[in-house]
Amino acid sequence: KFDALITTFEMILSECPELREVQWRCVVIDEAHRLKNRNCKLLDSLKHMELEHKVLLTGTPLQNTVEELFSLLHFLEPAQ
């Protein structure tokens, strides 16, 4: 049992079943610009996790197109 977990993108991509079994109260994602592509495997893995609150950290939310920013916003609020 733990109160906080610091992990890597690679661990999330490994589809570790223990990570999916946890009902996460908050997830903070650094280098969130890695989620800018809607077909990103990392984004797909995170969507299958139960995440109550999400915080995205990035210095470059918009690198090429507005669609990249939309992808990040859609991850935060999928119903919008």
Structurally, how many domains does the chain consist of?
1
What pTM did the predictor assign? 0.80
The answer to whether residue 55 scores a pLDDT higher than 90 is: yes
* Per-residue pLDDT tens digits for 8-17: 888 888 867 7
Burial class (CB in 10 A: 0-12, 13-18, 19+), 71: buried
Could you tell me the residue range of the domain that residue 70 belongs to? 9-76
* Per-residue pLDDT tens digits for 36-48: 877 788 888 888 8
Residues of the chain with pLDDT > 70, as a percent, come to 99
Question: Which two tokens mark 38?
Answer: 């809607």
> Do the domain assignments include residue 52?
yes
> Do the domain assignments include residue 3?
no
More confident residue, 62 or 27: 27
> Do the domain assignments include residue 41?
yes
> Do the domain assignments include residue 32?
yes
